[in-house]
Amino acid sequence: MRTIRTVAELRAALAEPRRGGKTIGLVPTMGSLHDGHLALIRAARDAADHVVVSLFVNPAQFNDSADLAAYPRDEHRDAGLAHEAGADLLFAPSTDEIYPPGFTTQVRVAGPLTETLEGAHRGADHFHGVTTVVTKLLNMVGPDVALFGQKDAQQALVIQRLAADLDLPARIEVVPTVREPDGLALSSRNVRLDPQDRRRALALSAALRAAESELREHGTTDAEALSAAARAAMTPFDVEPEYLALVDPEDLRPVGSVDQDTLLAVAAHVGPVRLIDNTILTPNGGAER
């Protein structure tokens, strides 16, 4: 697996597989790879002939400079893991390569998709940073398929909207959330949790499981009651949700009742880290992770 730093080298490296009729898959990441990222790379292997993993900690999507400064980075380790998982190319550009002097363009998805939930709490600029860099990466790589995690459900929706609205040719695929055995959703930020906060971090998945079982065991569909059950499950962990919301999984508008598939999304600060998680509640008794 080659590591490439510039757009020119990237295009040159992709010319041959493209000429040979190979399909190209792109997995955008901010590095510090874990099994969630590796699941995306493996899914890309299944979906395409040639897999590009991008590694770029995108300053434009951080609303908190301390979070950006503390973001874990280990390119050498990432390169080994990406290679093992089946990546053909690692694209690890500098910030200047992505945002050269004079850069002023922003790509924005407007409305509730970027203004609610994460957008309401981190600021919509977070998603404008994401959509700008993802548009650039899609233009640089020109993939047939790009893969994103359900862990960042709102981000996946925003990117699907972006691709549809701008007629971007890549197919957008969403891969299920990978979790630790105890339920914690894998995240690059988990390494910053001390042992006590690591235990407290289970509050998020506990909230999701509580709402799922309230729906499944008691047939409760009222959104307020499900939300109350989820919030109550967080209390023993001494964790307050920043938001916990039941929303339509397509347009993110709040729902009053779980009559069809509903996205339950939660965010919370645990020690120095802000964590997010989500599940799809399905009214016929099942629940997807």
Q: Which two tokens stand for residue 236?
A: 């023993």
Q: Is 278 in the site for ligand AMP (CB under 6 A)?
A: no
Nearer to ligand AMP, 61 or 220 (CB): 61
Q: Is 178 in the site for ligand AMP (CB under 6 A)?
A: yes
Non-local CB neighbours of 243 within 8 Å, separated by 6+ positions? 117, 120, 121, 265, 266, 267
Q: Which two tokens stand for residue 76?
A: 């050498």
Q: Is 148 in the site for ligand AMP (CB under 6 A)?
A: yes
* Residue 160 one-letter amino acid: Q
CB 66 within 8 A of CB 182: no
**Cβ 172 to ligand AMP, closest distance in Å?**
10
Within the chain, where are the H helices? 7-19, 35-47, 65-70, 75-85, 95-98, 112-115, 118-122, 125-141, 153-165, 195-200, 202-218, 223-234
Binding string, residues 53-92; x marks residues near ligand AMP by CB under 6 A: ----------------------------------------
Name which position in 114, 116, 177, 220 contacts ligand AMP (CB under 6 A): 177
Which residue among the candidates 34, 37, 121, 269 is catalytic per the annotation?
Answer: 37
Binding string, residues 2-31; x marks residues near ligand AMP by CB under 6 A: ---------------------------xx-
Query: For the chain, what is the radius of gyration of the CA atoms?
Result: 19
Bridge partner residues of 24 (DSSP): 50
Q: Which two tokens stand for residue 2?
A: 């080659």
Q: Is 40 in the site for ligand AMP (CB under 6 A)?
A: yes
**Is 37 a known active-site residue?**
yes
Name which position in 149, 163, 227, 234 contacts ligand AMP (CB under 6 A): 149
Neighbours of 73 (CB within 10 A): 12
Binding residues (CB under 6 A) for ligand AMP: these are: 29-30, 36-37, 39-40, 148-149, 151-152, 175, 177-178, 185-188
Residues involved in catalysis:
37
